[in-house]
Amino acid sequence: MAVFEFKLEVTLGAVPAIEELLGEQEEQHLMVLEDKPSGRAWLTGYFDAHEAALAGWKGFAELLDLEWLVTEPVIQELADKDWKESYKEHFKAWKFDRLHWVPVWEKAAFRLPAGDAVLWLDPGMAFGTGNHETTRLVVERLVKLAAEKGTAGRVIDAGCGSGILALSAVKLGYGLVAAFDNDPLAVDVSRENAALNGLDGRVDFFVGDLVSGLAGRPAELLLANIQADVLIKFAPELLAAVAPGGVLVLSGILASESMQVREAFGALAPAWGADARLMGEWSDLVLRRP
């Protein structure tokens, strides 16, 4: 089956704004790729037909500032082998502390250091690889919290995408893990990644939103890598889902939005401890319930 690749170069400085727009539109085909050493970035995506690629671009182009665009868009047909190889170029193995995230096509050549754990990933065209700063902020917190507080209690991944956070929690030793997404395709990809790692049934993956997905499931550790405006809108539901003594880890927040998110949650939970850190243009926020 042929796949049509859409691609145009954008300015590196426009990347945060474009990513925010992609999140707001819940765009599942287009994504931004960065090469910071060269100072270049691209808006790209994969579609099953030339017309679909063109329609996807026209709908999104209306939201963009023309000054962000470096080149005209190019749509080209790729053979099955070609698009798979193109897609793989943008997903590289990475690690934090003792946990490694490795694309499955590197499995034969990968050597796991003694005492470490690995999560094999094949995230699919439309879902995150974990290479983005927003995901890294959360997984680094997850690894540190596992060491600091132990791995007892329930973990919930709200907006699970490709399942990276939930499956990482299992690899770290958490025994009670649930994860949901409002996109059924994301849940399917998450389950496929669970099977890929021999973790079938270890995570309760299901379709849900920030109301239905959190109802009746108090968590000792709640992870939400979404986007700032959604986090603020559903702050009451997110805070209510954290068990006493539990931790809420928020990400998907632009550095410029960090204070706004912190103030919104602080107004609702003034007694909770809070700290944040930056990675590139992005921020997280960790809230600890007394």
Binding site annotation covers 181? yes
pLDDT at 253: 92
Q: Quick one: 72 and 146 in the same domain?
A: no
Q: Quick one: 199 and 80 in the same domain?
A: no
- On whether residue 76 sits in a domain, the answer given is yes
pLDDT at 128: 52
Q: Quick one: 183 and 245 in the same domain?
A: yes
The boundaries of the domain holding residue 67 are 3-88
**Which of 53, 88, 123 is where one domain is finished?**
88
- On whether residue 126 sits in a domain, the answer given is no
**Which of 56, 88, 120 is where one domain is finished?**
88
pTM, two decimals, is: 0.76
pLDDT at 56: 82
Q: Quick one: 155 and 70 in the same domain?
A: no
Q: Quick one: 83 and 138 in the same domain?
A: no
Q: Quick one: 37 and 151 in the same domain?
A: no
What CATH number corresponds to the domain at position 219? 3.40.50.150
Q: Quick one: 136 and 226 in the same domain?
A: yes
List the beta bridge partners of residue 120: 102
Binding site annotation covers 116? no
- On whether residue 29 sits in a domain, the answer given is yes
**Which of 30, 59, 88 is where one domain is finished?**
88
> Which mean pLDDT values do the consecutive 10-residue runs of the chain (290 residues) have?
82 87 74 76 85 86 91 83 60 84 84 91 55 86 95 96 92 96 88 92 96 95 94 97 98 92 97 94 95
Binding site annotation covers 225? yes
